[in-house]
Structures are given as C-alpha cells and as structure tokens.
C-alpha cells in the first residue's frame, strides 16, 4: 500500500520543500538544477509552475534540494507527477541520491509515480527528480514526501518481519 500514515501526514506534513515549485526568484526555492538544461516552467499540473529538464539522449541531469527534513534510517513514500510530449528514450528517476527509483518515460498526460524506500545514514544526502538519456523535455510537479510506518503481518500469534512467512510445520 502506498498510502502514507494519516497520523504522520497530519502531524509532520509534506517533507518536500516547495512541492509545486510555486515560490522563488530565478529558480524554485530551494531547488537547483545539477547540469544541462533545467527550466522553471510557466505551467503546472495543479498551479502556475513546474520544473522541466531537457536532455540530449546522453547526459543525466536533475533538480535537487538539500532542504528536505527527511531523517536517516526512516522509511518514506515519495509521490510526484511527471509528463513529456516530445521525448524519446530514457527514463526518469526520483528519491534521494542514496536511494531512488527509476520510472518509465511518461506520456503527454500527467502521470503519477510513487515509491517507498528507507533512507540510509550517509552524509550529504539530497532529494532529487531527474532524467537519464531522454532526448527531449520532461516535466515534474506536485512532489510529496511523507514518513510511513511499516505494518508487520501477524500469523499464528507471531508478528512477521520483512521476508518472513509461516508454513505448515515451520
């Protein structure tokens, strides 16, 4: 299930800063583009802005921020919307530089992607949205980052951990 724990959403809120990219001066605060062409676009899925990346089919680039309040050693869900209408090849990715997920290239309609991950304890982590080997432009908007609370299955009076199961006789 990729639904954040409602209690955590209410008490902690979205940990992605400026998730719809609406505020900033020359770029959406506090996001930066790593290299290549990144645009703070004048359209969006829900509001007036989104961010875009243009690739040449070879180079990787990303929008990133070091301003997320996510903590090391904790599980999170990240959701975001993406679209591209003039792109071929490659894929997009999202998450932290230490743990991220690759997603297929979206189409022209805004597409919602999500992943659940555990952030390892490392220095200099950053949240990012990026593209790999796309020849064209991809857009990102409405980023969500929430803590999740793992729920372990109970069976036979025992609580099972990740990857554990009960079979007859063992």
pLDDT at 52 over 90: yes
Mean confidence (pLDDT) of the chain: 89
Rounded to whole angstroms, the Cα distance separating 107 from 157 reads: 47
Beta strand 75-83 pairing with 154-155: unpaired
Written as six digits, the tokens of 102 are: 């690759």
CA dihedral 134, 139, 144, 145 (to 10 degrees): 30
For the chain, give the percent of residues with pLDDT over 70: 89
Residue with tokens 């724990």: 5
DSSP for residue 20: T
Rounded alpha-carbon distances, angstroms, from residue 107 to 33, 41, 84, 125: 22, 18, 5, 30
Q: Please give the average per-residue pLDDT across 41-61, as a whole number.
A: 95
Please give the residue that has the higher pLDDT: either 90 or 160: 90
User: Is residue 119's pLDDT more than 60?
Assistant: yes
Q: In 3-state terms, what secondary structure has residue 8?
A: helix
DSSP annotation string for 64-129: EES---PPTT-EEEEEEEEE-SS-BS-EEEEEETTEEEEEEPP-SS-EEEEEEEE----SS--EEE
DSSP secondary structure of 117-136: EE----SS--EEEEEES-EE
Tokens found for residue 46? 């829900």
Residue 154 has a pLDDT of 74
140-160: average pLDDT: 84
The mean per-residue pLDDT over the stretch 77-100 comes to 94
pLDDT surpassing 90 at residue 160: no
């Amino acid at each position: 299930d990729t639904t954040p724990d409602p209690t955590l959403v209410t008490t902690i809120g979205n940990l992605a800063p400026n998730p719809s990219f609406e505020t900033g001066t020359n770029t959406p605060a506090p996001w930066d583009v790593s290299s290549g062409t990144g645009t703070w676009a004048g359209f969006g899925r829900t509001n007036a802005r989104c961010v875009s990346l243009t690739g040449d089919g070879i180079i990787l680039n990303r929008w990133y921020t070091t301003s997320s309040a996510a903590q090391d050693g904790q599980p999170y869900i990240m959701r975001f919307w993406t679209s591209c209408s003039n792109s071929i090849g490659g894929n997009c990715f999202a998450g932290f530089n230490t743990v991220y997920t690759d997603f297929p290239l979206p189409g022209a309609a805004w597409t919602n992607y999500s992943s659940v991950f555990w952030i390892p304890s490392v220095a200099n982590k950053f949240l990012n949205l990026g593209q790999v080997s796309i020849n064209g432009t991809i857009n990102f908007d409405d980023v969500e980052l929430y803590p999740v609370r793992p729920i372990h299955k109970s069976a036979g009076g025992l609580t099972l951990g990740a990857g554990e199961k009960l079979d007859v006789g063992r």
